[in-house]
Amino acid sequence: MIPFFDIKFTKEMEEVALQALYNENFIMGESVFKFEEEFARYIGTKYAVSVSSGNSALHLSLLALGIKNGSKVLTSTNSFIASANCILMVGARPELCDINLEDGNIDLSKCEYGVDAVIPVHIYGNPCDYESVIEYSQRYNIPIIEDACQAHGAIYDDKKAGSLGDVGCFSFYSTKNMTVAGDGGMVTTNNEDVANTIRSLRDNGRKSKVEHDKLGFTMRLNTVSAAIGRVQLKHLDEFNKRRKEILRIYQQKLGKELFLGENPKGKAVYHQIVIKHKNRDKIMKHLSDNKIGTAIHYPIPIHKQPLYSKYGFVLPNAEKFVKEILSLPSYPLLKDEEVALISEKIMEAI
């Protein structure tokens, strides 16, 4: 049995977790501020503000940038639903964009109309075509909220994902390239006002200890989660290196053509390793029959989800793409011989 995903809680994570629980405040302890400082340094932004999830990171970013009822916000239809839900959560109208078939990232040439903000997603940890995002944002003079929830450590043009736009949003959900062993998120930015607004919004709209001047939320990251996040961040580059090594073994066995393309100006971090084949369902079944877990990211594009179908978007590339893609196991704990076995079973099916 090879599961689609696996991760272990380590002694090192346990030690820092206990240390934080015994010695720090449960909420807003020292580890939270250290994690924020270290994450900002790693991404290369002035500020990093921790929050309770990737979803909260996106939601609070839109609020901090003044996106509200009546605004329109563009994102990719090939993403986790949270990339679009944040738009509805602030009362704005979602505009969903089709993708390119090479790597599944947003294709802005298919969305030549104005909006009030754009949320490019670096899907599967592969940076999207960021040049086109900059052009688009300049054309309409709008902010960029990078959804880097799958792209911890990815690089575009020598800069880390999350440092390219007005804000970057990260998730630390368990399957991500790094986790906090629970839900968690981070917003990265060079904009001090945005950082301060998000600090306030995550903490019930607090202005001072006793005053509240905004309608805020309880969306802080727990101290124990931050302590674990610091350990994971320390290992992030080695985790990403292992993911790349896993891809290399798959490609040695199966050839490169089967795999999604990568942005030539970027360095991907392989949050998912995805193949594309017209016999996807047959491959998936054969792997499942051999007790190998796989997944589809995402089987229903956002514009086809019940919550979004009423907008009536017709996005043919995404609809074709989701019928052919398959995510293979890609987690650092996967062994070389398991990658070889998975490859062998794929060969049998195609």
Site for ligand PLP in 128-167 (CB under 6 A): 147, 149-150
Kindly tell me which residue out of 2, 43, 121, 268 binds ligand PLP, with binding defined by CB under 6 A. 121
Query: Nearer to ligand PLP by C-beta: 51 or 283?
Result: 51
């298919």: which residue's tokens?
110
80 belongs to the binding site for ligand PLP (CB under 6 A): yes
Distance (Å, rounded) from C-alpha 58 to C-alpha 90?
Answer: 10
Kindly tell me which residue out of 45, 53, 177, 189 binds ligand PLP, with binding defined by CB under 6 A. 53
Query: Nearer to ligand PLP by C-beta: 327 or 343?
Result: 327
84 belongs to the binding site for ligand PLP (CB under 6 A): no
Distance (Å, rounded) from C-alpha 149 to C-alpha 80?
Answer: 10
For residue 338, how many other CB atoms are within 10 A of its CB? 15
Q: Quote the least distance from Cβ 21 to ligand PLP, whole Å.
A: 22
Kindly tell me which residue out of 50, 61, 100, 171 binds ligand PLP, with binding defined by CB under 6 A. 171
Kindly tell me which residue out of 31, 50, 78, 79 binds ligand PLP, with binding defined by CB under 6 A. 79
Site for ligand PLP in 303-322 (CB under 6 A): none
């960021």: which residue's tokens?
130
User: Could you tell me how far CA 205 lies from the centroid of its own chain?
Assistant: 26
* Contact of 145 with 58, CB cutoff 8 Å: yes
168 belongs to the binding site for ligand PLP (CB under 6 A): no
What tokens appear for 261 in the block? 């393309």
* Contact of 103 with 54, CB cutoff 8 Å: no
Query: Nearer to ligand PLP by C-beta: 20 or 149?
Result: 149
173 belongs to the binding site for ligand PLP (CB under 6 A): yes
User: DSSP alpha helices (H): ranges in the chain?
Assistant: 11-23, 30-43, 54-64, 82-89, 130-140, 192-201, 223-254, 280-289, 316-321, 336-349
Footprint on this chain of ligand PLP (rule: CB under 6 A):
53-55, 79-80, 82-83, 121, 147, 149-150, 171, 173, 183, 185
